[in-house]
A and B are shown apart, each in its own frame.
Chain A
Amino acid sequence: MKSSKTHKQRSRSQKQAPKPDAPGILNLSLDNAATGLIAILSVLVSLTILLGEQAGVRVRVNLPENGLVAPYQTITFTFSEPYNPGFASELVSMNPIHEGYLEWVDTYTMRFVPIRPFELGVTYTLKFEKGEVETRGREVKKAQTWEFKTREPLVAYMLADETSSSIWAVDLNGNPPKRLTDESVKVISFDAARIGEFIIFTVANEQGGVDLWRVSRAGGDAFLLLDCGRDRCTTPAISPDGLRIAYSREFAGPSPELPFGSPRIWILDLQSRQNNAVYEDQEILGYNPSWAPNSNKLASYDGLSDQIFMLDLREKTQSIFSSNTGGPVTWSPDSSKMLFTDVDQAEEGVRTQVKLADLSINKSETLIGAKDDRDYSYYALAWSPFGDNVVLSFHGGDDPLVQTLWLFDPSTLEGIIIADQKDYSYNSPQWDPWGTALIFQQFKLRSTFNPEIGLWQPGFNEPLLLTQGLMPHWLP
């Protein structure tokens, strides 16, 4: 019967079933090939386990290839196997010794968080000794060392003209500045992370709203971080640990011609991408958010009630201090105190004052200006990262436009004038991570508007012109 099939029938029946591929590999059956492969894989699995177990636990550290780290660089240890924090922490050392603490992140990750910034010019040696890292006896079989130094800080600032507004960065060594955002993006305001890795800035969108953008320290890679649509998201403030952004959000009106709503403070979590209003109570307004150095407290100003709201995000407690200036606050290094300005309507007239709020007792007192013979119009404040002094800009002389910078000890109120050149006005001071250098905005009065960035360090007789630009921020 088979032989009676036509050639056409035979060729059709050959096509019918999903024929295995024409020429098979070798001359194996499926069972032989599959079981052979499974056997080979079993051997490879066994060998991998055998060799892997002999190699022991491996540790990797997130240090950059060039060995240059940020002053507040968190050093992350990643283990190839689950570790015991108690065991592992015994094996870590640093030379020279540096103040900080080891933190358990997850089953495989531990990190060293520096309390003080790593010093410039010092070579640090990090060592992980060999030894057991977990309770079952699994161990790191070979000691490892890594070396790193602290990188030179940059200063980020804005350059604006009629058509563009960009963020630039410059070092303190006189090298040419570098543009971080391109011309197509028109920056309104920005904040630089204390960890120095990125900048968050605001840009107007086509719908009339303002969005949050992000760009890295190296620049050229700006991207939209938060599309706010028709809402205005402004005054971003990055938490010192670099994990959250606080900003002020004004909701758009029901139609474009209607005004925006009142500003409220929101927080965007950069890891989870959660984005929520800080206060559920819509009556609490807020702008100019300011993070405490420990990243757990957030102050903001409510211009409707003339109050500064301070929220402890960890303890879920809230403190309120009256202030009617709306100026930003500055924090003590231990996050327990705040300095801010207020205006008092005294019998002799208006007096601007500097107030000190102690968050442990929820009280504030006037630190400066209680007995001033006239109004000195205190403006921006900057508390040194190590607490030994504060810089204050104030209107000291007869010229109403002139603002001077005064460096003082908050415990004795004794200090020195550090910037009062004739025809110059100074504002927005910011300390570097070590508290050894100060940058600020300076303007030459009665001339073309040409904002400059000044630099002051102990030993300087007068400030140094760093570059021309606006809104200086350290980019450590």
Chain B
Amino acid sequence: METATSSKHLPRNLILATAIGILLIVSISMTPAGFFTWLGGRLNVFSTVFLGIFVEAVPYLLLGTLASGLVEVFLDRDQMGRWISKRPVAAAVSGAFMGMVFPVCECGVVPLVRRLFHKGLPLSAGISFLLAAPVLNPIVILSTAAAFGWGQMLFLRVGLSLAIAVVTGIIFSVEKEAGNVLRPALTLSIEHDHAQTESNDSFVEKIRKALLITADEFFEMGRYLIMGILLAATLQTFIPQSVLLTIGSGPVLSVLIMLGLAILLSICSTVDAFVALGFVGTFSFGSVLSFLVFGPMVDIKSVLMYLQVFKRRPVFYIVAIPFMMSLLSGLLFNYLLP
């Protein structure tokens, strides 16, 4: 029956495809020649931006998925229970500092935090880890220091990121049911996962399993990373930075523009300090700071990856709370300094 239906619809599809093809050919023939030159230039920009973000992000995704695989195989659920406090504030704070142990940026932290949820990491700790780890890790601290020196900008970046991550973590601690926050697939896999971790494998077998998990997760999360990068590259191609920069003056608008740029540029937190350094002098201190704080927490690719772990509404909160806190801190510094 299905075959008959398909063959019945085929001529109609063919007619539709032919019509679209003809329409395209007519449109192209009527398009001014300059358009193709422009489009070619844009495509060059697109591929450069895409490859730039991709090459920058993929190693960190690999690192994150590798950490995830190792956590799955070597970390015992009971150990997790012992290390992380059950009290909301303490859990959120300890979650934020976990970045010092797992040096991952925003691309790698998502698969890792998903795995840690498998292992029973409290929501508040997981959320604060998710938001803080891209800044509170040694690589990012050193790169920020290299760009801005061991001064105000570095300490404020670290301090504000910590504060925002902890506050957001505490907010999530009020949720009694993890299923309300995490996607159903994740909750189910937790059940399944628990049964698997009872096995008593040799070290080599554990490593093999860890690598298998790494590969699976890398390709799974990699899809969303690539989709996010495609989106970021498209937006960057058709909304040039210069447009944003020209309207980005003033204490309020400059912060909003820099927050928008943080989302749009989707730069890895390990190198974003050097990009931010280029904005000093053009943009206010508060806006550059908010870029450095908010960018590692939320950007296009990370939001797409968050959506694979969390339900939509929690993702909205994960985006909105850091956004509002970064905006507030940027405004306060703009209005208080000098």
Contacts and interface: CB of A to CB of B under 8 A. Distances in A.
Interface of A: 12, 15-26, 28-34, 37-38, 41-42, 44-45, 48-49, 51-52, 55, 58-60, 78-82, 105-109, 138
Contacts of A30: 171-172, 174-175, 180-181, 314, 317
A52 B335 contact: yes
Contacts of A45: 324, 327-328, 331
B178 A19 contact: yes
* Chain A interface, >50% SS class: mixed
B176 A37 contact: no
B77 interface: yes
B167 A37 contact: yes
A313 to B, nearest CB: 22
A85 to B, nearest CB: 14
B107 interface: no
B178 A17 contact: yes
Given A17-B182, A18-B121, A21-B86, 10 more contacts: A17-B120, A22-B86, A25-B88, A30-B181, A37-B171, A42-B324, A59-B338, A78-B338, A81-B249, A107-B281
Nearest to A32: B174
A5 to B, nearest CB: 14
Please name the 6 residue pairs, one residue from A and one from B, whose CB atoms are nearest each other, closest first: A60-B338, A52-B335, A106-B281, A41-B324, A30-B175, A18-B117
B282 interface: yes
A41 B321 CA distance: 8
Nearest to B180: A30
A33 B170 CA distance: 10
B166 interface: no
Nearest to A52: B335
A180 B170 CA distance: 51
Given A21-B86, A21-B173, A81-B251, A58 B328 contact: no
Interface stretch (B19-27, B122-130, B150-158): B122-130
B190 A18 contact: yes
A49 B171 contact: no
Contacts of A25: 88, 170, 173-174
Given A30-B172, A105-B281, A106-B282, A20 B122 contact: yes
A109 B317 CA distance: 37
B284 A18 contact: no
B303 to A, nearest CB: 16
Contact of A33 (B174, B249, B335): B174
B316 to A, nearest CB: 8
Interface string B249-292: 11110000000000000000000000000000111100000000
A38 B120 contact: no
28 contacts: A17-B182, A18-B117, A18-B178, A19-B120, A19-B123, A19-B178, A20-B124, A20-B175, A20-B177, A21-B91, A21-B123, A23-B88, A24-B88, A26-B174, A30-B180, A30-B181, A33-B174, A34-B171, A34-B320, A37-B321, A37-B324, A38-B324, A42-B324, A48-B328, A49-B331, A80-B334, A80-B337, A108-B284
B81 interface: yes
A48 B335 contact: yes
B194 interface: yes
Contacts of A37: 167, 171, 321, 324
Contacts of B317: 30, 34, 38
Interface in B117-148: 117-118, 120-126
A32 B170 CA distance: 13
B223 interface: no
Interface string B92-126: 00000000000000000000000011101111111
A278 B325 CA distance: 49
Given A16-B191, A21-B87, A25-B88, A108 B251 contact: no
A135 to B, nearest CB: 11
B17 interface: no
A62 to B, nearest CB: 10
Given A18-B121, A19-B122, A109 B281 contact: yes
A472 B81 CA distance: 68
B224 to A, nearest CB: 20
B190 A23 contact: no
A88 to B, nearest CB: 14
B29 to A, nearest CB: 47
Contact of A24 (B174, B191, B338): B174
Nearest to A29: B174
B185 interface: no
B182 A81 contact: no
Most chain B CB neighbours (cut-off 10 Å) among A16, A26, A33, A105: A16
Nearest to A24: B174
Among A20, A22, A55, A109, which residue has the most Cβ atoms of chain B within 10 A? A20
A41 B328 contact: yes
A26 B174 CA distance: 8
Contacts of B81: 15
A445 B224 CA distance: 82
A52 B251 contact: yes
B259 to A, nearest CB: 12
A213 B25 CA distance: 67
A13 to B, nearest CB: 8
Contacts of A108: 281, 284
A81 B284 contact: yes
Nearest to A18: B117
A17, A19, A22: residue with the most chain B Cβ atoms closer than 10 Å: A17
A77 to B, nearest CB: 9
A51 B281 contact: no
A70 B10 CA distance: 85
A22 B118 CA distance: 17
B335 A80 contact: yes
Contact of A21 (B117, B122, B179): B122
